[in-house]
A = this chain, B = another copy of it.
Amino acid sequence: MTKPLLLKNLRLMGTDAADVLIEDGRIAQIAPKINPTAEVTVEDCDSALALPGLVDAHAHLDKTLWGMPWHPHQQGKSLQQMIDTERALRHELDMDAERQSARQVALSLSKGTTAIRSHVDIDTEHGLSLHRGVVATRARYADVMQIEIVAFPQSGLMIRPGTLELMDQALREGADIVGGLDPCGIDRDPKGQLDAVFGLAEKHGKPIDIHLHEPGEMGAFSLEMILDRTEALTMQGRVTVSHAFCLGMGDQARVAGLLDRIAMLDVSLATTAPAARPVPSVAACRDCGIAICAGNDGIRDTWTPYGNACMLERAMLVGLRNNFRADVEVGWALDTCTTDGARVMGLAGYGLAEGHRADLVLVDVEAISEAVTQRPPRRLVLSGGQIVARNGETEATWQSA
């Protein structure tokens, strides 16, 4: 039982300064002034801005090379090349999934992330070893990081017999969500893959999150097949499409029609807002009521040398990609990394309100926009009521090997 914690003088999402009492991992009270009692630990927050815990709703905890020696980037640019390079490098490099995922989780805490949806590779070369590594990390950090695991057939499902059975096993061993990947582009069998993915979801009663990099009309075709199955199997509210680059295509009328149907079926989207690819418009999705969340995707892995696990930086990249400049717009960019992420992950008791889980990120800035555009070191990060990071550094208890 931790002592109650009294945070003095912070501005919740930029509102007037208030005090916040935290008990049993929850926000017990928010008031202009709360007097400390002998039992509480007091933390003066110097009028810092408080955001809710950041949500990285599209991550790959099993892939990062964080904390390992610099590995020169060596793959080609096609998706298939990247997949093959990574599978080979997992053998050559010492990419222990448990150690590496713990490193990323510890790093993420220092940046204020308190919930992560991670896709985890499942293939016939590595079996469930990566999955089990991330499951172990999830257990270790259970008190302070809410982790969802997507069983992800990175190397293909139909083109790698045996993968479906491994995914089935992963869903019995703690995976929360059924993954999928480019049913045309990688599996060359959209009907086969999507029937298999939706079949697994139905069998296990689990939601779905499918990577869809396919651009233009090919992507729209796959997306429609996903929507058809969502409707037929009444999986409204339980399907996420990640990336959805096809929604960045030029034909605005076509995109509008797809967005309408996505909204009607309560399908959600996850974006990384890459600068070099077409992307769904965050504003257009919001207009339709579609939940569009953001993720850092891989950070410093065999796919990309970029990334530092900071979801305020991701919010900045979402803002830049969508040409968001007004404060209200930059707030939308932040929403993709906070409330919309929580909505997609279905996080219970999320947000800065009494009774909710005490996940707070404090930064010494004036305005929400400034938190996104400047991304200062996190003054204080609380997760589940515990202080997990201070001045940009993860607390000793939660550091990784």
Contacts and interface: CB of A to CB of B under 8 A. Distances in A.
Interface of A: 69-70, 72-75, 77, 273-276, 300, 303-308, 316-317, 319-323, 325-327, 330, 365-367, 369-370, 373-374
16 contacts: A70-B367, A72-B326, A72-B327, A73-B325, A74-B326, A75-B325, A77-B323, A273-B275, A275-B275, A276-B320, A276-B321, A300-B373, A304-B325, A305-B369, A305-B373, A306-B319
A69 B365 CA distance: 10
Contacts of A305: 325, 327, 330, 369-370, 373
A365 B69 CA distance: 10
Given A276-B321, A308-B374, A320-B274, A327 B77 contact: no
Nearest to A273: B275
A305 B274 CA distance: 20
A317 B369 contact: no
B276 A322 contact: yes
Contacts of A373: 300, 305-308
Contacts of A72: 326-327, 367, 369
A369 B275 contact: no
Given A69-B366, A305-B370, 20 more contacts: A70-B366, A70-B370, A72-B367, A73-B325, A73-B326, A73-B330, A73-B369, A74-B326, A77-B325, A275-B317, A276-B321, A276-B322, A276-B323, A303-B325, A305-B327, A305-B373, A306-B316, A306-B320, A306-B373, A308-B374
A321 B77 CA distance: 14
Contacts of A370: 70, 305
A275 B373 CA distance: 15
Nearest to A304: B325
A304 B72 CA distance: 35
Given A273-B275, A276-B322, A70 B369 contact: yes
Nearest to A277: B323
Contacts of A276: 320-323
A275 B320 contact: yes
Contacts of A365: 70
Given A369-B305, A373-B305, A73 B323 contact: no
